[in-house]
Structure 1
């Protein structure tokens, strides 16, 4: 990942981003955001948000997520720095650095130190800036020579104003080697910094023409690789170069360009510096009132960077404007503030400017002594800069002329002013290629004339004239250089414009390809949507929606070929948003375009103004497209789109329509196939259900015959007992007295009210015990009497019935009571038998019920299982032990009749697997938001070799005639329809358990509980 990639790389990233759709790789988002951080900071941050929220990021390994996260944090940190939040930027950059160090990401470490150097530069901390740049170069040197070279070029730029020769040595030592090792020696990011350093060094050395040329190249390179901050800086420095060449028009043009670029970014530092440079150009053009508000705005924006050189320069420029406007006191205070900042920064050139400004302000205020002190301090600050010394000595001479002072020892001149003029002249004479200012020579001529030394006055006057001529020549040269540079600039601009036009053409071509690609992607998505839909009406609606999205089609019609193959029926028609009624067209109709398209099975295009072609019930259309819906050679129907606009359907539109027709044909064919499959499946399910019912008929018939036999037998017994009771009861009541009658009635009531049921074993045990008690009580015929008392449920009331047993009519009372007991017992048997038959009938009705609506109903799984078990009751008695393990569950939405079919198949298979001898276990429990029904048997188990095939249609291990092989397939499909799944656990020799998992649904609101 380049520190700054060129526009071609970014264009490729953009193309990949556009083609990725919604599923964008987080790595791609990161790369694009990284290259957008200066091109479009707001978009870069938006891409960072998208990358952090992407599902793809969460799926990456932890180390990769951390690496991407650290780089995304670095983008946020740079955005904070660009918008002057330096504390936040530094803190976030430090966090990113710790993460990158932990991950061993060398390039990440290099880029973080680069950002920290940028922050230090903005804050005016040159020492920290150089340290961070050195670290950036160190880490980049291991992986990227281009980054390493940029760091060294930035280091050289940081040294220019404090150590020009040291800066040049550093650049020569490091940058050349880095360029040789770079992946591309002409990488624009590296060239922008290389040219920026050389341009700055040339400007400081007063080689303005060369400086401008370097900055022009730096500006172009910076723009081409997204370094907007560097491009703004280059533009303003070009303006400075033109100021030094006295081409104020070009200076204003370039500094204004830099300001316009800066304002687009809204970065405080860039806008502030650009305002300062533009205001400097206005000052040189003596447009002070225009410059002043710009400088005030610049200082406001640069306030967070008060320790920086840029802030001090802006203050110095404002002081110069104030001095020119006559606001001497304010200028003096501002110059003093600039001096203090220059001392802290170690900027000798800035310190000299501030001190010289103070001297000039004090001179205009009439304070000769303080002015001279400031001038002497300025002279000391300019010790290594001869040109500045000349200007300083000239000012000192002007101060002496305005405020003469006695000659000090060692001053060999007619006056102190002449002494300083000669010092300035001596220094100027030693500067190679330097032209002595004509105003200096003119001032010396005037001073000698005042001293009555007219000969020297004449000599210096002549030299002043020559210097003025030379200055005019140099000014002409400078203007020529400026003109040459301007011409080169215009040529460069013309070439750039040509390249931009070429790029525009390429961009338009790329845009066209992109649009085409987007349409193809859209068509692909539409195709997946349409062909994935298996409902004909839904297919029609989808085609209608997408036809209007992609084509000019106010009218859209779909015709289907009828079953007779002789006519076409309009199954969908819309015109201007209104649905139309259906109608039919004969295939052999010679007047119909729809019929023609169907007969010829080819696309039909009608195009032209005023054709007014109409379908029945529609307005006239000028452009019409007809296409057949074909599945192989089979005609399904015809699609047509129509527009009132002539020439609405070119090749592009026809291709789109043809594609939509192909998708429509596939979808309709799939819908038809699904309908046939559903009909066949429904028939198979019904056949399987009827087969299951047939298997149960014999068991159900036997199960009903048993209680019917009991009813018949009990009815006969009741008739016999009733005859006996009616015969004996009146006679008995006449023979026994009142108290005995009461005991007799209590005996009968006890037998009637008792609900105790005894097994055969319990009954025999009760008779034996009661016989022993009767023997002890002296009652005769104990065996018969004990049996009769047990039938009357009086075995526990022996003390109560003993008076009856000792009565003279005891035999008649017991015989009569036995008849009544028989009537009661048989009545109970009849009730039990009727209830049993009712249960069987209810279960059979519930099982055979068919709900044709297909609507889900609240279903109690426990009741559903018990319905099927009731039907299988007879088979379960033949040697099968039934174990129920139920939990209480809420009802779920389901199809009860189809779920009954599931339990029937699984229980029937379980019974067959055990040969009706074993343990059948039915379970029902909750697992989270799922109801689990388990049906297990203790049979032979399913061999592992065939276990995977048991749900295949028509696969069976049963003998011919016993199984169709579709039972478990039907079970699986029914479970799938309910949104559940079926699982099997089987061990050979142990048994098999099927688990049916169904999603629980809240009946209260009809929505899934999860």
Structure 2
């Protein structure tokens, strides 16, 4: 399995996967998930999860099973790294490396080190980054994997290009002699290194060309993060070349790609470079917006090199805006961050920025100290460009204040002395045009001293420098234009190849979709018609409609008992309920009434912006509307409709699918109303929140703890509880006497969005803060109150008895619903809450079978059941005595109701009709 591969290989894998079913898909699933890890994180995770399930079913060869699981763990590690979840990334990477080492899979071990190098970079641990990459190089070299070895070496050259460009240039030349025709995955790093070196030595045209080609190579081989980086570097080189429009174009390409993937590290870099380009274009407000957003994005990775550069760019912007105090603060913060990255020239730049800010603040003494430090670093690094900048700052300082220096000067003034030193250094650099403004400053200094001969002499030199600068600018524009032309040609070729690839992928997808649709509809039909609960039928239809069709709106209207009207009994639009409405069967405008009268399906197409009255005020303006009757033989039950905000989306395929679903739905509803049973059933598993806020252990709004706190503290509690249960099992004690359980309560404020919409976000914040107080009244100080996200809270009740959980849950619900929330201007509102809960260990007889995180998922599943069944209630998931297999967790999470009916769990439902606790236990008899 290659480290990276091209788009053609991805298409081949996709085509193969489309033709496979069941266990044989494993041959392609793991490889495809691996190669999609940067191209499409969500799909890679979906494929990895499918592969995990299939591997569990086919785990007849333990070594084969664990090797594949290790590769999938590495997929998860890279996805977490890209998303800025560095702790999880390190955890998965460690798991994978341990398994690879156990089975002596050195290729896998090398890949782990390769990824760890990226993780260490984002953590700001540069020494560890280089050590991990060197370990990968050593392993690849030892096993003779030439392409992986070349990629790792090229990446090492890329890392050193910034610090030691001249030495790196020689190393690149040597590498190209040894590898004359590198693979595209290698070029993505090698050309990026060459581009950085070209930038450092002033060959901006070559730098632009190399960055553009490196970007294309990275993109085509699935190295999307590197593709974003090379695009931002191309923008930086174009900016140095003077073509700010091209610079902004490339920065926007990088930013669009970064926003599409929403990876903190990449998005921060793209925002940083875009902000700098906007600053150079004097669009200061837009520049500040992008730079501040870049800092916010990097909250999870404050140790990264990009974070320091962002602070430095904000310092430059503050100087441009005339705010030296702000500039000084930014440069000082940048200095603290960059010290970890061993970049002396950047440190010199930070000190020079501080000197300029201090000078403008009137603190000449400290400004002199800073600029002297910056100059010393620049001299130590033999960086002439930085030395010139430092001398010019010293000249400015000398004009504004007197400074005693140990060095002897031959010029009349200290300011002129520094200007001439800068001029001397500029003259020593080959093929560099001396800045005209520097020469003019020297001429003006002589003029101020009355030395008009020298003033005239340098004025003439300045005029020649300006003319030379104009010629160079013209040459640069020509180079930039040529690079842009080449780029457009390459882009056109890439677009042509992309369209071919899309066509092939679409063909394969259509074949698979046609095959899957028939099988899926049969399975769906059996599922829907097995329900005897009308609400369950509505939910099932809605879910499958969303899976199979483009439906932003979904509604079912049923005939009233007298047959004279249609009552909307279920409706959802973009995840939100549609208010119920009644339509007379003879309504002259209603499409629902028309479908019921004609008993035939039909499609309506609206033109965008068409004026007219919608059936339901306040709903979205839909452009495609499909209606179909719900029929049992010749008997009409009602009408089902789906609608989309996109035009012309319902063809014959979509009509056939909805027609089939309507037939199944009609049978199921007829059965449900015949039996007159109402059963709550929930079929979907709530997607686990991936974007974790780990800025600190305390939520800034409510003062409650957050997820980071939970991750840092829960393991100790879990270990304590497990020890207690292990001791009890060994002693043969009854678990009923145990007061050492951990109970997880998942709490969600019902209809919280309406508070923000009606009263504003400030009032919404007040409600959240008061909700914290209500929870604090229910629980002990030793319990954990967690702000889980939005209006959702997780309470971890420590050292308690699981038998008390229903009472405590009802206490939460009661205190929320019975106490008003006080808002601004003495406004009082009432809100209810929904509660789901579960206890750890979930199975007292098998305390190690489920992790605490899986038990939290059970509590979350309970909350999900409450919300789907009407909110303002409590549902707990509890254990059933007996021994269970490792597949127990997945069975419960996939179908909790089925698990309850099979006798695997109890579902404890607490009704909210009264203040008394009414417990109904649903389980197998």
TM-score (normalizing by structure 1): 0.50
8 A contact 1:26–1:56 mirrored in 2: no
Query: What are the superposed Cα offsets for residues 301-338 of structure 1, whole Å, 9 maximum, x if unpaired?
Result: 21332222111001101111112112211111221221
For residue 20 of structure 1, give the secondary structure of its aligned residue in structure 2: coil
Check if 1:211 corresponds to 2:207: yes
1:47 Cα shift?
1.4
| Alignment check: 8 A CA contact 1:152 1:170 kept | no
Question: Within the alignment, does 1:29 sit opposite 2:25 as a pair?
Answer: no
Q: Using the alignment, how far apart are the partners of 1:524 and 1:188 within structure 2?
A: 46
Residue 258 of structure 1 corresponds to: 254
Query: Which residue of structure 2 aligns with residue 294 of structure 1?
Result: 290
Map of 1:402 onto structure 2: 400
Closer, same or farther in 2 for the Cα pair 1:418/1:9, shift >3 Å?
same
1:454 to 447, 452, 455: 452
Partner of 1:434: helix, strand, or coil? coil
Between the aligned partners of 1:507 and 1:18, the Cα distance in structure 2 is 10
Name the residue aligned to 1:433: 431
Displacement of 1:201: 1.6
Q: Which residue of the partner structure matches residue 157 of structure 1? A: 158
1:357 corresponds to:
353
Alignment-derived partner of residue 896 in structure 2: none
Matched, 1:374 2:370: yes
TM superposition shift of 1:172: 4.0
- Partner Cα separation in structure 1 for residue 510 and residue 101 of structure 2: 45
Match 1:229 to one of 219, 222, 225: 225
The more displaced of 492-501 and 352-361 is 492-501
Q: Shift of residue 495 of structure 1? A: 2.3
Distance 1:57 1:462, change over 3 A: farther
What's 1:101 paired with?
Answer: 101
> Which residue is 1:139 aligned to?
139
Query: Partner of 2:385 in structure 1?
Result: 387
Q: 1:347 aligns with which of 343, 348, 359?
A: 343
Deviation at 1:245, TM superposition (A): 0.9
Q: How far apart in 1 are the matches of 2:158 and 2:345?
A: 15
- Is 1:335–2:368 an aligned residue pair? no
Superposed, which structure 2 residues align to 1:529-568 within 5 Å?
A: none
CA distance in 2, matches of 1:463, 1:128: 50
1:198 to 194, 197, 202: 194
Cα distance between partner residues in 2 of 1:50 and 1:8: 23
8 Å CA contact 1:215–1:238 kept in 2: the answer is yes
In structure 1, distance between residues paired with 2:403 and 2:502: 71
- Of the structure 1 ranges 444-453 and 361-370, higher mean CA displacement relative to structure 2 is found in 361-370
**Residue number among 421, 424, 439 corresponding to 2:422 in the alignment:** 424
Cα shift readout 1:769-811 (whole Å, capped 9, x = no counterpart): xxxxxxxxxxxxxxxxxxxxxxxxxxxxxxxxxxxxxxxxxxx
Report the CA distance between 1:37 and its aligned residue: 0.8
Shift of residue 491, structure 1, vs aligned partner: 1.7
Deviations 1:145-167 (A, max 9, x none): 11111111111122122222333
> Aligned equivalents of 1:523 and 1:319: distance in 2?
61
Q: Is the 8 A contact 1:161 1:349 kept in 2?
A: no
- Is residue 158–residue 190 contact of structure 2 (8 Å, CA) maintained in 1? no
Q: Indicate conservation of the 8 Å contact 1:435/1:471, yes or no.
A: yes
Cα separation, 2, equivalents of 1:501 and 1:40: 18
Deviations 1:91-127 (A, max 9, x none): 3212211211121112101110001101111122221
**Following TM superposition, by how much is the alpha carbon of 1:393 offset from its aligned partner in structure 2, in angstroms?**
0.8
Select the structure of larger CA radius of gyration.
1
Q: CA deviation at 1:511?
A: 5.3
Q: Retained in 2: the 8 A contact 1:19–1:518?
A: no
Which segments of 5 or more consecutive residues in structure 2 lack a partner in the other structure? 524-547, 549-597, 601-633, 635-651, 657-923
Structure 1 residues 442 and 360 mapped into 2: Cα distance closer, same or farther (>3 Å)?
Answer: same
Confirm whether residue 318 of structure 1 aligns to residue 314 of structure 2.
yes
- For the 8 Å contact 1:137–1:151, the answer to whether it is kept is yes
- Return closer, same or farther for 1:344/1:463 CA change in 2, 3 Å cut-off: same
Q: Per the alignment, in what secondary structure is the counterpart of residue 19 of structure 2?
A: helix
Measure how far apart 1:173 and its partner are.
4.3
Q: Distance in 2 between matches of 1:152 and 1:169?
A: 14
Bigger Cα displacement from structure 2, 40-49 vs 448-457: 40-49
Residues 191-234 of structure 1: CA deviation (Å, up to 9, x unaligned): 21111111122122222111111111111111112111111111
Q: CA deviation at 1:171?
A: 3.6
Change (3 A) 1:476 1:289: same
> Separation in 1 of the partners of 2:225 and 2:521?
43
* Correspondent of 2:464 among 448, 463, 466: 466
Q: 1:457 to 1:406 in 2, by over 3 A?
A: farther
1:108 and 1:419, CA in 2 relative to 1: closer, same or farther beyond 3 A?
A: same
Map 1:474-553 to 2 at 5 A: 474-507=472-505, 510=508
Q: Deviations over 1:482-537 (max 9, x none)?
A: 11111111122222233334444545555566668779999999xxxxxxxxxxxx
Q: 2: distance between equivalents of 1:16 and 1:522?
A: 20
Distance in structure 2 (CA, Å) of the matches to 1:389 and 1:409: 16
Aligned-partner Cα distance in 2 for 1:448–1:347 = 38
- Which shifted more, 244-253 or 25-34? 25-34
SS in 2 for 1:54: helix
Q: Is the 8 A contact 2:231 2:250 kept in 1?
A: yes
Separation (CA, whole Å) in 2 of partners of 1:348 and 1:464: 32
Q: Which residue of 2 aligns with 1:43?
A: 43
Q: Distance in 1 between matches of 2:78 and 2:517?
A: 37
TM-fit CA distance, 1:59: 3.7
What's the CA shift for 1:402?
A: 2.0
Matches within 5 A, 1:888-899: none
User: Residue 188 of structure 1: which of 184, 194, 202 is its match?
Assistant: 184
CA drift at 1:282: 0.7
Give the aligned partner of residue 6 of structure 1: 6
CA shift at 1:176, angstroms?
5.0
For the residue of structure 2 that corresponds to 1:298, the secondary structure is helix
Structure 1 distance, partners of 2:351, 2:521, is 73
1:480 shift after superposition: 1.2
Alpha-carbon separation, structure 2, partners of 1:126 and 1:108? 23
- Tell me, yes or no, if structure 1 residue 126 matches structure 2 residue 126: yes
In structure 1, what is the equivalent of residue 821 of structure 2? Answer: none
Q: Structure 2 vs 1, CA of residues 267 and 409 (structure 1 numbering), >3 Å: closer, same or farther?
A: closer
Per the alignment, in what secondary structure is the counterpart of residue 219 of structure 1? helix
Give 1:72's aligned residue. Answer: 72
In 2, Cα distance between the equivalents of 1:67 and 1:5?
21
CA contact (8 A) 1:38 1:228 kept: yes
Farther-moved stretch of structure 1 (337-346 vs 256-265): 337-346
* Greater alpha carbon shift after TM alignment, 298-307 vs 152-161: 298-307
* Contact map agreement 1:232 1:261 (CA 8 A) in 2: yes
Cα separation, partners in 2 of 1:354 and 1:213, compared to 1, 3 Å: same
- Inter-CA distance 47–508: structure 2 relative to 1 (3 Å threshold): closer
- State the Cα deviation string for residues 356-397 of structure 1 (Å, max 9, x = none): 111111122222222222211111121111111112111211
Match of 2:302 among 301, 306, 309: 306
| Structure-2 separation of matches of 1:343 and 1:393 | 23
Alpha-carbon contact 1:90-1:116 (below 8 Å) kept: yes
* Structure-2 change in CA distance of 1:363 and 1:519 (3 Å): closer
Kindly state the Cα deviation for residue 271 of structure 1 after the two structures are TM-superposed: 0.9
* 8 Å contact kept, 1:153–1:175: no
**Against the structure 1 CA distance between its residues 524 and 331, is the aligned structure 2 distance closer, same or farther, given a 3 Å change threshold?**
closer
| Deviation sequence 1:53-72 (CA, Å, 0-9, x none) | 11675344111011111111
Hey, what's the Cα distance between the residues in 1 that align with 2:199 and 2:93? 34
Distance 2:57 2:13 in 1: 18
Taking the aligned partners of 1:15 and 1:202, their CA distance within structure 2 comes to 42
Structure 1's 343 and 422: CA in aligned 2 closer, same or farther, altered over 3 A? same
Structure 1 residue aligned with 2:681? none
Q: CA deviation at 1:131?
A: 1.2
User: Which residue pairs with 2:409 in the alignment?
Assistant: 411
Q: How many residues align?
A: 533
For normalisation by structure 2, the TM-score amounts to: 0.54
Alpha-carbon distance in 1 for matches of 2:492, 2:228: 20
Counterpart-to-counterpart distance in 1, 2:400 and 2:479: 38
Contact 1:26 1:57 in 2 (8 A): no
